[in-house]
Structure 1
Amino acid sequence: MGRLDAISISTLQASLIDDIPAVRVGHGCSRRDLSSDGSVRVWVVDMEPGSTWPYVDDHDTGEHYYVIEGEVIEGHARHGAGTYVRFLPGTSHRPRTETGVRLFGFNLDPAALGAAREAASRAHRFNYSQG
């Protein structure tokens, strides 16, 4: 039996992206939130031809996305299908498209990052001599 055959159906989640309800973000822009463990936000964004994201997107924890189809424009840079784009923490952007685009992306949930930093801080403050 192969490794994949040994996976229990109860440990596997599979979804058809287009079956997940889309949330309208702005004119010609929608997002589908995918299931995750809660510390990472995972999503698919669709933008119709000629659309612009309705607001500047700020990223305290950074953002990553992969262009599945179409082309996204960030500033003067054009990113076509097959391109991986990464924004560092503390950056912002406002994507647009002339052709339409579908992106698969993820970023750390700021609340989860704060909890992880607090846990690391508590561990760092522990004085091993106090046993």
Structure 2
Amino acid sequence: MATSTDFNMDFSKQVVIDSNLLEWQSSPASGVERKLLAREHAESGHATSIVRYMPGASFSRHEHPFGEEIFVLDGVFSDETGDYGAGTYIRNPPGTGHAPFSEHGCTLFVKLHQFNPHDTQTVRVDTRNTPWLPGQGNLQVMPLHDFETEHTALVKWPVGEVFQPHRHFGGEEILVLSGCFKDEHGSYPAGSWMRSPHMSQHHPFVEEETVILVKVGHLPLTM
């Protein structure tokens, strides 16, 4: 398994990972495991991971000098600010810290050290109690956060939906939450993570209802 620095840190290249095929790796905290998707340094800097807390696991208090973004995939994630069930979207801005734990266990999608330094908004969205909005075509969209060119949302694709070919200014990052997302390059089942560079292009579609977590406009325009 990859444990070195600079893992998937070339933002000019597309990365596609089926996280279901990765093995869990230990973390500095007992009972907390992770699947690495991208990482700058061993235990600091830019990182994108799937993280699993076993029942009763906890992390000692730590700071996030460049922010932390979390989507709770299953279970209940907790810290001193509250308990956050599956489907909760969390943003802890630069300079914040916490002591997270999970009483009964949980799985998270976590992004560290990736905030614009001027983005100081704390966000908590329970997506299971937030209405969907109409998107392009027959898509439904649930906006989660916007800052300058960066936009994060859930997108629900109905059965048989085909989207127009398009380019990604500032790149695109997708985590498939349910169903199977597809484009002319391949099929991506639930648990797949994709990062596509600035001005990349594809022609996406689905055959079954599919929900994806999408972030656009946040990657470097040049390398």
* TM score, norm. by length of structure 1: 0.68
2:201 aligned with 1:70 = no
CA distance in 2, matches of 1:60, 1:24: 19
Quote how far apart the aligned CAs of 1:88 are. 1.4
Match of 1:52 among 162, 181, 205: 162
Match in the other structure for 1:123: none
Report percent identity of matched pairs.
Answer: 16
Match of 2:133 among 14, 17, 22: 22
Quote how far apart the aligned CAs of 1:76 are. 4.5
Match in the other structure for 1:106: 215
Quote how far apart the aligned CAs of 1:16 are. 1.8
Aligned-partner SS, 1:25: coil
Aligned-partner SS, 1:49: coil
CA distance in 1, matches of 2:212, 2:141: 9
Q: Which amino acid aligns with 2:186?
A: A
Match of 1:96 among 205, 211, 221: 205
Aligned-partner SS, 1:26: coil
More strand by share: 2
Match of 1:31 among 134, 138, 141: 141
Quote how far apart the aligned CAs of 1:5 are. 1.7
CA distance in 1, matches of 2:131, 2:123: 13
Residues 171 and 218, structure 2, Cα contact 8 Å, conserved in 1: no
Match in the other structure for 1:126: none
Question: How many correspondences in the alignment?
Answer: 108
Higher relative contact order structure (alpha carbons within 8 Å, sequence separation ≥ 6): 1
CA distance in 1, matches of 2:166, 2:136: 12
* TM score, norm. by length of structure 2: 0.42
RMSD, aligned α-carbons: 2.8
Match in the other structure for 2:71: none
User: Any unmatched runs of 5+ in structure 1?
Assistant: 118-131
User: Any unmatched runs of 5+ in structure 2?
Assistant: 1-59, 62-78, 82-96, 99-120
* Structure index of larger Rg: 1
Aligned-partner SS, 2:207: coil
Quote how far apart the aligned CAs of 1:48 are. 0.7
